[in-house]
């Protein structure tokens, strides 16, 4: 597995704030491993980023936590997870993703469209007969 670059500055994809480096602990009956990840600094947000998983969220307390949803944008160069590097100030749905592998130039600019499910035109488009 490729190592993350030390100069990563991933943003939380929900709040667009810089994530903080943290140590994640994974314990089994025989041993415990630690890995570097990034966490959203907002107290009510449980979104993390790691180089082997991409973005994920965690439910539960420290004793019985479980990983829930995963958001993974992959690098076009090496297929590794990318992190959210920038969000356009005026167009929040325009996002720049970068590869976390050192010296990789892989990036993606993605414009995301979020639809309101209550919008009449959206309901008409997705209506099934």
Interatomic CA distance for residues 50 and 4, integer angstroms: 8
pLDDT of residue 129: 40
**How do residues 45-102 score in pLDDT, each as one tens digit?**
999 999 888 999 887 655 445 556 678 889 999 999 999 999 988 888 889 999 988 8
Predicted confidence band of residue 109 (pLDDT cuts 50, 70, 90): confident
Q: Could you tell me where the beta strands, DSSP code E, fall in the chain?
A: 20-27, 32-39, 47-50, 54-59, 66-71, 82-87, 94-99, 107-111
Whether residue 47 contacts residue 39, with contact meaning beta carbons closer than 8 Å, is answered with yes
pTM value is 0.72
Cα–Cα distances in Å, from 88 out to 62, 92, 94?
Answer: 35, 6, 6
**How do residues 4-33 score in pLDDT, each as one tens digit?**
556 789 999 999 999 999 988 766 667 767
**How do residues 86-104 score in pLDDT, each as one tens digit?**
998 888 888 999 998 888 8
């Amino acid at each position: 597995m490729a190592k993350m670059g030390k100069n990563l500055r991933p943003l939380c994809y929900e709040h667009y704030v810089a994530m903080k480096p943290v140590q994640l602990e994974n314990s089994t009956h025989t041993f415990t491993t630690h890995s570097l990840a990034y966490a959203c600094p907002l107290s009510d947000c449980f979104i993390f980023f790691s180089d082997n998983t991409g973005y994920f969220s965690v439910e539960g307390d420290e004793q019985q936590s479980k990983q829930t949803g995963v958001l993974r944008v992959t690098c076009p160069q090496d297929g590794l997870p990318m992190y959210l590097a920038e969000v356009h100030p005026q167009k929040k749905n325009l996002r720049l993703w970068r590869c976390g592998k050192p010296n990789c130039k892989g990036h993606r600019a993605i414009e995301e469209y979020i639809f309101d499910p209550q919008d009449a035109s959206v309901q008409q488009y997705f209506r099934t007969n």
